[in-house]
A and B are shown apart, each in its own frame.
Chain A
Amino acid sequence: MAVRELLFAALVLGQGEATPDVATAREAERVARLELEAARSKGFYLLADAASLTLALKLGGVPLTTYKLESIELGLPLASADETVSLDELYSCASPPREPVEIVPGPPPAPSTPGKDEEKKPPVPRSVVLTCEPPLAVHLVSASKVFGLRERLRLFGDRKDERRVRLVVAEADAERLFPSFPSKPLLLFSRVPKAAPESTVEAR
């Protein structure tokens, strides 16, 4: 039997359809193993999936929500751009603290009085830079705000010999992601390919 056919069956783990090859099976096993480790930590973790271009937010293994990504890009300093880099680890990340808006004391409005909008949102960042261990800088940016000149200059001055990953979040989802971004999430990347429809047909 063709190894590929067997392999794609395992790829869609749980659906028992098609068969992945060894590399795919290894990747699927790595992702599942790291996700279990992340789930056991009881905290927030993010799963960036290169095949479906999604960023899933989970808490202790329970799915909370999924954000659509426009791209996941790996960045290397020009001088070492030829290096082969894998993102095989479970990264422990920290996001910068948000600045709260100060409240001015005063009497509350009457409950039934329709008045001006009371909501005073803390400023939503244009992007979030996560500093992770093992060393990795993760830049989460909204698709509508991809690196203006100011941002580029800031990053230019901020440069270290670090590996970077840029996650470009779809504009509508960035509005949801940034206000509630967890402060110390774990992060893992999945490169398990989606089972192509034609492959599934072949397997049948």
Chain B
Amino acid sequence: METSDAMGVPTGALDGVEPAAAAAEAKPASPKVDRNRWILSGVGATLLTVLVLVFLSSRLYVYEALAPIEPAPSAGVTPEEAAAAEKEIKDLVSKAKRAQRGVAAFTPGSVYIVIDTAQNKLYVKKGGKVLHEALCSTGSGGLLKDPNDDRQWIFETPRGNFRVIRKAEDPVWTKPDWAFVEEGKSVPDNWSERRDYDTLGEYALYLGDGYMIHGTLYQRYLGQAITHGCVRLGDEDLERVYRMTPAGSQVLIF
């Protein structure tokens, strides 16, 4: 007997669908459908793997050690070839020696200074040989900003090739603006207030642009990168370096 709901729609028709669907769900999938699903999953996974591999292969690097060149085998070389090779080698060796002499000529034969900012060490050298080695302090690399305007300073020891442009005993330091800003003081208008008679120690070797090799009140910090860019030495080392190094000497800083 057919039933109907409040809207008069025969429920039997609906009821008739549900049992059929339920029956279909309850029915176990055939082996053919299962196989198709597996095949599709397999194809999908393979495609995904291929895509990942393609992506990776475009991104991955292969590294190989860079080895010294292998000498060419000399077996089976005709006398003519050997003679030609000998001539070529002679020519190459001559050119290489000439170039090497050219490079060697850049090393000063006179006294020069090398400063290693990573290790805070100073070397006085001559012709490549170390005459004196000293612990020093180099630039901190710190950044100071002036709270009153846009000015800022980076306290690095400059790297490169410099010269001792001037030497002085009992040097007087004319303090630049940053020296006051760093201490939280106002910058004086009067230049006499900038004169400092103690900070630089007994000797100074001027490198230009306000940079110099000088003494320090902070001897306990030698070996540390704490300066404003100058190179500080202990008293004894400063005197030795001052005496050993004539004005005009090269100063190589790295």
Residues in A lying within 8 Å of B, measured CB to CB: 1-4, 6-7, 10, 13-14, 19-29, 31-33, 35-36, 39, 42-44, 50-51, 57, 59-65, 71-79, 81, 87, 98, 100-103, 105-108, 111, 114, 117-122, 156, 159, 164-166, 175-180, 182, 189, 191-194
Contact = CB atoms under 8 A, between A and B. Distances in A.
Quick one: which of A50, A105, A192 has the most chain B CB within 10 A?
Answer: A105
Contact of B92 (A26, A59, A61): A26
Nearest to A190: B68
B95 A29 contact: yes
Contacts of B70: 23
Nearest to B182: A105
B4 to A, nearest CB: 67
Given A100-B154, A179-B118, A32 B58 contact: no
A193 B99 CA distance: 18
B96 A75 contact: no
A43 B118 CA distance: 18
A57 B254 CA distance: 9
Interface string B131-144: 00000000011111
Given A14-B100, A24-B69, A60 B183 contact: no
Contacts, number: 239
Interface in B64-86: 64-72, 74, 77, 82, 85-86
What is the predominant secondary structure among interface residues of chain B facing chain A? mixed
Contacts of B62: 75-78, 81
Interface in B151-210: 154-156, 159-161, 181-184
Contacts of A14: 97, 100
A3 B181 contact: no
B1 interface: no
Interface residues of B, number: 73
Given A73-B65, A73-B66, A105-B144, A10 B89 contact: yes
Interface stretch (B11-19, B22-30, B38-46, B217-225): B217-225
B47 interface: no
Contacts of A32: 95-97, 99-100, 103
Interface of B: 56-72, 74, 77, 82, 85-86, 88-90, 92-93, 95-97, 99-100, 102-108, 112, 114, 116-119, 128, 140-145, 147, 154-156, 159-161, 181-184, 217-218, 220-221, 224-226, 250, 252, 254
A84 to B, nearest CB: 11
B66 A189 contact: yes
A164 B226 CA distance: 36
Contacts of B61: 75-78, 159, 164
A25 B88 contact: yes
Contact of B103 (A36, A179, A194): A36
